[in-house]
Structure 1
Amino acid sequence: SFNSNTFMLYSGPPQSTQRNIIEKDDIHKTLLKMKNHNININFLVGHAPYIINLANPSLEKREFSINFLTQELNRFSQMKIPQMVLHPGNNLHKNKSEAIYWIAQGINKIFSNTPNLKTKIALETMAGKGNEIGANFEELKNIIDLIEDKTRISICFDTCHVFDAGYDIKNQFENTIKKFDKIINLKYLSVIHINDSKNCLGSKKRSS
């Protein structure tokens, strides 16, 4: 009814890592239904669950996240989805530089586990709630700088998150985009979440 040609989906509950096996026949039927409703498969976006944290100081938990996201990337690839949005992670260790390093190395490991896949990981801009990594463009750039295969990394620009993080896109949208381009480079922008914010500028609450 919206005449849209794209949408975003999860492969399971966004607050859980439990996943069911996806049957090839179901994928075929779904892709056919999308085609019949003018949905462009090239514009589809998947989203990883929120609870994954590649910056967890626990090696065991980071390895779990890497293994899960490797499987998740494979699932979205099977569904012909070209982008998987990922919340970068939460800095539980208090050493932000080390947390950023862990995130990047986790993504590098995921990519090395999936050398034949084309599905990208799109790091989402965050609001800065709690210990979130990625609430400023510099942190996202620092992650990208450490990624070995930069052809498979991109950015998801969430308007609610960016506003709540302190970027005044309401009054200075063009300046914000120029800043994004200068720090990260617009070539990495591949997904946009267009959301209003219930909060004031810089609230760091991320509710839309």
Structure 2
Amino acid sequence: MLNIGCHLSSAKGYLHMGREALAIGGNTFQFFTRNPRGGKAKAIDTEDIKALLTLMRENSFAPLLAHAPYTLNACSADSKIRDFARMVMTEDLQLLELLPGTRYNFHPGSHVKQGTEQGIIMIAELLNEILRPQQQTMVLLETMAGKGSEVGRNFTELRSIIDRVELQGKLGVCLDTCHVFDGGYDIVNDLEKVLEEFDEIIGLERLLAVHINDSLNILGSHKDRHARIGQGNIGLEALSAVTNHPQLKDLPFYLETPNELPGYKAEIALLRSLYRW
């Protein structure tokens, strides 16, 4: 079975998201832990979470993916922004202990004129502060498109972060198809080479989630603008090759395309129809 879902709004609660995922043909979903632009997290409703866990067991859900807010920047030059990142990630990881198996994805950050090396050091320092040996949640570094001063624009930068973290067993990677394509990795014409490079530098065992998105921009544009499946420069054939690849086929895939629920439902049905396993 293709494990696939989309990004859903958490405004109406966890059980509601689970029901929405099922209604559009999904068996997983991604959600923001709080407002994507930052702020305080909503109060935890443990009964709502328990109801979702029951629904997930009954419907063989793949792992969920929690996404940190976009405003989180672990390598900001501003100490207050770094303090915010520390607070958010600490709170989020505490929440996710109530959702066993859920993975936590975040954008590594932007170094903003400090230089990539300094950005890598600061991101690793923050991870060393917040990761705990007993936590159940895997924290995922997302592959980035490389716009501006983003850290994580290539596999080597992500590897450099991992190498500086003490509890490396708590870290994985979320590969975003739009981001890696915009970052210069040719998943259209040479997916095998891209995966070989990922394996050599990071290790495919760390790849735990995929954002499956098309791109409005050309290879190596460093722009990061998502497109609907089959309506961008990656294309349906290449994206189907990703979901069907023997080394990727069992991973959970999360759509972040510019859609409402009916559009996500159509994309899920399309990718399922092309799944060969």
Structure-2 separation of matches of 1:144 and 1:48: 18
Instruction: Return the letter of the residue paired with 2:48.
Output: D
- 1:33 partnered with 2:55: yes
Which SS does the other structure have where 2:148 is aligned? coil
Structure-2 separation of matches of 1:4 and 1:72: 24
Q: Would the aligned equivalents of 1:45 and 1:81 in 2 still touch at CA under 8 Å?
A: no
1:32: how far off? 2.0
Which SS does the other structure have where 2:112 is aligned? coil
> Partner residue of 2:143?
125
TM-score by length of 1: 0.92
Q: Which stretch has the larger CA shift, 12-21 or 96-105? A: 12-21
- 1:105 partnered with 2:125: yes
> Partner residue of 1:90?
110
1:81: how far off? 4.2
Alignment of 1:40-59 (within 5 A): 40=62, 43-59=63-79
Instruction: Return the letter of the residue paired with 1:197.
Output: S
> Partner residue of 1:200?
218
**Aligned match for 2:168, one of 137, 144, 150:** 150
Instruction: Return the letter of the residue paired with 2:210.
Output: I
> Partner residue of 1:181?
199
> Partner residue of 2:266?
none
1:59-114 Cα offsets, whole Å, 9 max, x none, are 23212211211101111222224310010000113321111100001011011xx4
Alignment of 1:53-72 (within 5 A): 53-72=73-92
TM-score by length of 2: 0.70
1:150: how far off? 0.8
> Partner residue of 2:8?
none
Instruction: Return the letter of the residue paired with 2:27.
Output: N
- 1:116 partnered with 2:127: no
Q: Would the aligned equivalents of 1:125 and 1:135 in 2 still touch at CA under 8 Å?
A: yes
Structure-2 separation of matches of 1:27 and 1:4: 18
- 1:160 partnered with 2:178: yes
Q: Which stretch has the larger CA shift, 68-77 or 30-39? A: 30-39
1:118-159 Cα offsets, whole Å, 9 max, x none, are 101100000011111101111001000001001100000000
> Partner residue of 1:17?
39
**Aligned match for 2:154, one of 121, 136, 157:** 136
Structure-2 separation of matches of 1:14 and 1:62: 16
**Percent identity, aligned pairs only?**
38
Let me know the Cα RMSD of the aligned residues: 1.5
1:17-52 Cα offsets, whole Å, 9 max, x none, are 321111111111122233344323xx1111111110
> Which structure has the bigger radius of gyration?
2
Structure 2 residues without counterparts, runs of 5 or longer: 1-22, 227-277
Count of residue pairs the alignment pairs up: 204
Instruction: Return the letter of the residue paired with 2:200.
Output: K
Q: Would the aligned equivalents of 2:186 and 2:219 in 1 still touch at CA under 8 Å?
A: yes
Q: Would the aligned equivalents of 1:11 and 1:76 in 2 still touch at CA under 8 Å?
A: no
Q: Would the aligned equivalents of 1:46 and 1:81 in 2 still touch at CA under 8 Å?
A: no
Structure-1 separation of matches of 2:60 and 2:223: 35
1:162-197 Cα offsets, whole Å, 9 max, x none, are 000011110011000001111111121111111111
